[in-house]
Amino acid sequence: MKPLARLLAAACAVLCMAAASDPSERLADPAQEARARDLFKEVRCLVCQNESIDDSNAELAADLRAIVRQEVSEGRSDAEVRRFLTDRYGEYVLLKPQFTWANAALWFAPLLIVLAGAGLLVGRWRNRPAERELTQAETEALARLAQDDGQV
C-alpha cells in the first residue's frame, strides 16, 4: 500500500504545481475557475509574447488573469471575454487570432511574393535571347585580338 500512497502523493504534488497560483486569486466556483484557466491558455502575455498568461510570471500576466477571472465571475461568455480583451489590447493578445481577410493577407502575402518572383524568373528564362552566331566582321576582329595577344 505504501507505493500506491507515494504515487498518489506525487500525483497530487504535480497537480498542485500545475495549478500554482495564489489561492486568494482563485474564483470560489470551481466551474468558473476552470473556464478562466482554459481562457488563460488562449491569451498571450504581452510582455513575454510567446507564452500564455497561464505560463507567465510577469505582472501584466497576473493583471490579465485577474481581468479574465473578473469577467468570468460577472457571467460573461468565453467569446465576450475574448472580445473584451481584443477591444482593449488588440488581436495580438490572442495566441490563436480569428481568421480575417487582413490576417489571411499577412499570412499569404509572402507566399504570393515568392510565387510571383518564381514566375518572373521562369518568364525571363524562357524569353532570353537565343545565342547567335558571330558575324564575319566579329570573327575577324576576334582572330586579330587573339593574334595580337599572342605576340605581346
The domain spans of the chain are 15-93, 104-151
pLDDT given at position 5: 59
Distance, in Å, from the CA atom of 145 to the CA atom of 151, rounded to the nearest integer, reads 10
Residue 98 neighbours by CB under 8 Å, 6+ apart: 91
pLDDT, residue 82, reads: 93
Phi, psi of 43, deg, nearest 5: -105, 130
> Which residue, 38, 27, 105, is CA-closest to 69?
27
Ordered mean pLDDT values, 10 residues apiece, the chain (152 residues): 61 46 70 90 88 91 93 92 92 86 86 95 87 89 85 56
Fold of 15-93: Helicase, Ruva Protein; domain 3 (1.10.8)
C-alpha cell, 80: 465576450
List the one residue out of 31, 115, 104, 25 whose CA is nearest residue 69: 25
